[in-house]
A and B are shown apart, each in its own frame.
Chain A
Amino acid sequence: MSDDVSLAKEPRDAPPAAEELVVLADVNKHFGALHVLQDINLTIHRGEVVVVIGPSGSGKSTLCRTINRLETIDSGTIAIDGRALPAEGRELARLRADVGMVFQSFNLFAHKTVLQNVTLGQVKVRRRGRADAEERARALLDRVGVANQADKYPAQLSGGQQQRVAIARALAMDPKVMLFDEPTSALDPEMINEVLEVMQQLAREGMTMVVVTHEMGFARSAADRVVFMADGRIVEQAEPHQFFDNPRSDRAKDFLSKILHH
């Protein structure tokens, strides 16, 4: 039933010749007996903001994590900017550097200051000089509104501040695409907006983004496309207003009725 919904290949208002940046083709993955990703076909264009929603356990995090190969896949292909994702080694590391990732639990390096968190990858992976890296780090920290926390350790910051630092850390690598896996789910309610605002800003500036979130307001206002997942499949994808106002699949209708009436 959920399989026969025809999938729009591209959002309607995407520019005609938009470049394909992330392409997942026939991706399958199992965790033991659990078929967690089933025949996933998903193309993300340069500059596009794709919001992934769906019930807990539907495979959203796993999908995100396969894109930079934190999880391996069993079959299918994933290409980033025209290049297939390498299996391991130096090539994989290089490709990962082009994919920024923001985690639900921030994962800032606990033994390093905020500034060191944002310079580390620039120096060790991008091979920038320390002075350049620090200058860029300070500019990014300023942009996400935590410039005055540069010399503190992550544990001394609020959750919202930590997550904004994590965004700055990912941006410091000059990624081609940013992945967000429920970036506001671990935050106290009053801190959610400060993180969403940073993400909104990024979206407006044309960053390519894949965002797993339950923040429907963000999905409506920032997304070019909403991808709805259930039981390891992409059940439906559409522009936000179309998806929210007029979902086609029963699974999506059911899901939306549950979360919107809460």
Chain B
Amino acid sequence: MFDFLDLERYDLFGAFWMTVQLTVFSAIGSLVWGTALVAMRVSPVPVMRAFGTAYVNIIRNIPLTVIIIACAQGLYFTLRVDMGSDDQSTAYFRLAVLGLSAYTATFVCEALRSGINTVPMGQAEAARAMGLSFVQVLWLIVLPQAFRSSVAPLTNVLIALTKNTTVAAAISVAEAALLMKEMIENEAQTLVIGLLFASGFVLLTLPTGLVLGWVAKRVAVKR
């Protein structure tokens, strides 16, 4: 049944490894950028608040495929942004990470914002009363508590991100979905190939969910 699975011809592990890389780099990127966005959204500076709100509301409503293709077509071909690489496939990988991060950051931002809402007002007040600056209050008191109560929603964002990396196939990044397309074109066992790749993704996301579910309980702030 698995005789179509010629690992010499189809680099299955390489493709999933690419998926993992896309996920990890985009997760880091979106966590950093999403944190910056939520800081803007709660900041006392009106311009920053307006930017944060506009960014989130616009970017999360654009289909991811459009964002990824815009990164490749718009940034790479039109503006010649090659992300520091003259090798096109490396540049495309980095652009895919950029697009995925820019998009996923809006969901990270919203998850963190709901986390911030679980932190009682008194926490920030006590911190301000002590003479901490806005950034210190956010970084030392509010965000650490918000992160701890956002682990569950952030896990959902991470799982969605893992699956969303398949969109990078649209710009020929050699991740799992691109290989699947190629195999389906060449082989007869379409259903088995579909199951194979579906299992691959479940294998990636299931442990992530379990581990982070355990982490969520461990780090929860007791009040």
Residues on A lying within 8 angstroms of B by beta carbon are 68, 70, 90, 93-99, 101, 103, 105-111, 120-121, 124-125, 153, 155-156, 166, 169-170, 173
Residues of A near B125 (CB, < 8 A) are: 70, 103, 107
Q: A96-B128, A120-B140 are in contact. List 16 more A-B contacts (CB 8 A).
A: A68-B129, A70-B125, A70-B129, A96-B129, A97-B130, A97-B131, A101-B130, A103-B122, A107-B122, A107-B125, A108-B126, A121-B130, A121-B132, A155-B223, A156-B222, A170-B130
Residues on B lying within 8 angstroms of A by beta carbon are 120, 122-123, 125-133, 136, 140-141, 144-145, 148, 221-223
CB atoms of A109 and B126 under 8 A apart: yes
CB atoms of B221 and A124 under 8 A apart: no
CB atoms of B145 and A125 under 8 A apart: no
Name the residue of chain B whose CB is nearest to the CB of A96.
B131
CB atoms of B131 and A107 under 8 A apart: no
Q: Of B123, B136, B145, which contacts A107 at CB under 8 A? A: B123
CB atoms of A93 and B222 under 8 A apart: no
Name the residue of chain A whose CB is nearest to the CB of B129.
A101
Residues of B near A124 (CB, < 8 A) are: 132, 136, 140
Q: How far is the CA of A96 from the CA of B128 in the complex (A)?
A: 8
Q: Of A99, A120, A153, which contacts B129 at CB under 8 A? A: A99
CB distance from A249 to the nearest CB of B (A): 32
Name the residue of chain A whose CB is nearest to the CB of B219.
A111
Scoring B123, B129, B136 by chain A CB atoms within 10 A of each residue's CB, the highest score goes to B129
Q: How far is the CA of A103 from the CA of B132 in the complex (A)?
A: 17
Q: How far is the CA of A158 from the CA of B59 in the complex (A)?
A: 47
CB distance from A71 to the nearest CB of B (A): 10
CB atoms of A90 and B133 under 8 A apart: yes
List the 4 closest A-B pairs by CB distance, nearest first: A97-B131, A107-B122, A107-B126, A155-B222
Residues of A near B123 (CB, < 8 A) are: 107, 109-110
Scoring B129, B130, B144 by chain A CB atoms within 10 A of each residue's CB, the highest score goes to B130
Residues of A near B144 (CB, < 8 A) are: 111
CB atoms of B131 and A110 under 8 A apart: no
CB distance from A103 to the nearest CB of B (A): 6
Q: How far is the CA of A98 from the CA of B131 in the complex (A)?
A: 8
Name the residue of chain B whose CB is nearest to the CB of A101.
B129
Residues of A near B221 (CB, < 8 A) are: 110-111
Q: How far is the CA of A70 from the CA of B125 in the complex (A)?
A: 7
Q: How far is the CA of A41 from the CA of B138 in the complex (A)?
A: 35
Q: Of A93, A98, A106, A156, which contacts B133 at CB under 8 A? A: A93
Name the residue of chain B whose CB is nearest to the CB of A179.
B129
CB distance from B147 to the nearest CB of A (A): 9
Residues of A near B140 (CB, < 8 A) are: 120, 124
Residues of B near A99 (CB, < 8 A) are: 129
CB distance from B215 to the nearest CB of A (A): 15
Q: How far is the CA of A207 from the CA of B148 in the complex (A)?
A: 38
CB atoms of B126 and A103 under 8 A apart: yes
User: Could you give 12 example pairs across A and B, Cβ below 8 Å?
Assistant: A93-B132, A94-B131, A96-B128, A97-B131, A98-B131, A99-B129, A107-B126, A109-B126, A110-B223, A120-B130, A121-B130, A125-B132
Residues of B near A109 (CB, < 8 A) are: 123, 126-127, 141
Q: How far is the CA of A90 from the CA of B133 in the complex (A)?
A: 7
Q: How far is the CA of A123 from the CA of B125 in the complex (A)?
A: 18
CB distance from B188 to the nearest CB of A (A): 57
Residues of A near B222 (CB, < 8 A) are: 110, 153, 155-156
CB distance from B85 to the nearest CB of A (A): 41
Name the residue of chain B whose CB is nearest to the CB of A172.
B130
Q: How far is the CA of A107 from the CA of B221 in the complex (A)?
A: 14
Name the residue of chain B whose CB is nearest to the CB of A125.
B131
Residues of B near A96 (CB, < 8 A) are: 128-131
Residues of B near A108 (CB, < 8 A) are: 126
Q: Of A95, A111, A156, A173, which contacts B145 at CB under 8 A? A: A111
